[in-house]
Chains A and B, each alone.
Chain A
Amino acid sequence: MSDHIVSAYSDELERITADIVRMGGIVAEMIEDSCRAVSTNDIEMAKAVVARDGGVDTIEAEIERQIVSVVARRQPMAHDLRLILSALKVAGELERIGDLSKNIGKRAQKLDDAVSPEMRNGIMRMAKPVKRQLNNVLDSYASGSADIAKDVWASDDEIDQHYNSLFREMLTYFMEDPRTIGVGAHMLFMAKNLERIGDHCTNIAEFVYFQATGDYLSTMERPKLQQL
């Protein structure tokens, strides 16, 4: 897309996009680190993840401030309007993802040695597709690609599958050894958090798609893996 006649306007929009991508990068690292802290039982790393959430909130506030300013001064239209709207929402989604990662980090500190490495690895396994989804959706956001966004939106089921299998796996652990129920509950919540992050990624994908095309993905039928 060519530049605005008022070049400062283009600069402002680019800066918002860049800030969102930067925020996305931080959030992606938080997911990675929190899950690694779980799998390696690294309490320090878990604490560091929790500490980083404040920075994410700051970036989100800054992005919102920029958006308000652009809306007030430039009255964006058409693609610019969609860009601004989706930036606002994507920033919110990323902030939620940051919160969920922080939550994983908090719960990681509550785990003890009673949790078997097998149980921990389940989380790490599930984190992989989540991170992939987030990275993909951030790529689509940065490049404005509706196709990648649509792919991300369509492949959320894989995360659901992982969650379901992890849930069943946990149930077997609980039945084998009821003492694990305490920490297992934490593990379940972490899995649930990852599943929520996946949902947020599909939300972001929807906004990216709307930004790029002006149409709404949510009105389409999402392919379900079970139906394949």
Chain B
Amino acid sequence: MTDTDARSFRNAAALKRLKGRRAADARFKFYGRLAIVVALAALAMLLVSVGTQAFSAATHHVVRYDIELDPARIAPDGASAPEDISRNVEGFYGLARDSLLETFPEANTIPAQRLLLAKTLTRLAVLPAAREVAARPELIGNAYTLTAPLNHDLDLFLKGRGAGEMRVEIGSIAAAKADADGEVTLTGPDAFKAVVTRLASLRAEMGPAADTLSVLVTSGRSTGRLSDITANTARLDLLTGDAADFEQSRPAGRIFRLAESERNVSDQQIAWVLALKDLGRVSRVANTGLLTQTDSTYPELAGGLAAIVGSLLTMLITAFVAVPIGVLAAVYLEEFAPKNRVTDLIEVNINNLAAVPSIVFGLLGAALFLNFLDMPRSAPLVGGLVLALLTFPVVIIASRAALKAVPPSIRAGALAVGASKMQIVFHHVVPLAAPGILTGAILGMARALGETAPLLLIGMVAFVGDVPRSPLDESTVLPVQIFSWSNNAERAWEPMTAALIVILLVLLLLMNSLVVFLRSKFERRW
């Protein structure tokens, strides 16, 4: 092979080597794309799982109660002052419960049924109504429409969760005959064929356990539980309503895959809710309580307002402490401090401080602020101070980086026209570094906003029923609230937690957008 062949564009050996190199390029590109896909998939999964959960918590069911505001019950003698009325849960609750009993008189006879029916309405859910009436005493004695959230288990049931509900088709009913003891026999040609088939397949699938499953047949406001069935006839235990509703109807059939004992809602409750729905007293509305209510033992009444306000107060304290301290420290270290071993040591330690696990700051805060300085527990003040400790190394590091990035030519230019050190720093360097400093500060704050561990240690995990009014009030913050809610047993907390997570993410997103906005607005090129 001659020299020119070796240098040719079509030299075989060279082309082979080239192929290997191209393949390596392609492999690397593929790995990079794979990594991005994995990361995006993880993000998408997070967003989808949290998002769908949160979406179900975004709306909830409320029930309307048309009541007469009887002065004797809501404003009895000696307790008729507005503040008494606003706290008279028992009076309003009693009126609402009576309205339910009026709708479902069959429950009145059996105490256990009475209690079960009363569970439809959570006692504390009447508080907003009580407050409204207290504020407008002229309403007393008149008709009033009380709207309160449905019990969380029933709410979940209506959202199609928690009971394993399956719809089955039922044909036209020719006749409905009421028997003794509240039993109803429905007849219709092949009306129950589908039900029988479905039950047969369930039996094949689940074995004898299928016999214990409930089948509810609903027509209008009347619902009965199936006790005996053939293709043409069915006998129902009437749970609510009467036999006349089934006459000449096409009722809806529901089979529940979960046995009654395994559900949080009984057949009877389901029957009542379906009846209320049929009466048009149940409606699905946006769950504004998430943003306007405070924490509660009942998921349908709980909201994140206290945590949001607590978080904002805490952030305010953090911002007012960490940003000035951090920025001033950074300006001093970067612009004024002599470069020697002491400042080197300080720099190393600031970097170390930024790497200290956050829970350690919690311990420090508990020891210093609570035990030594005797500050109030669970207060945004203390939380803010602890988070400030956590944040200001980040602020210092970011600010120093921003100050370092200011080109020396600007300093030299200012120096050459006779500016003093202070004038150089505050007329030229700091304004130029401001976007970077702000970015660092906001990112540090965003980190603080998401911190949970240190706040647990200073008692911000306590149950807080009231919106904090000052940094000294008891309070909690969003991430801690999320942590507490996720520990609760009831299934209804799951979507609520997810909703709170979404609120936290939105706040973080807002802060990050602020960073982007400030950068694009104030960043200057030189």
Judge A-B direct contact (beta carbons within 8 Å): no
A residues near B, CB below 8 A? Answer: none
B residues near A, CB below 8 A? Answer: none
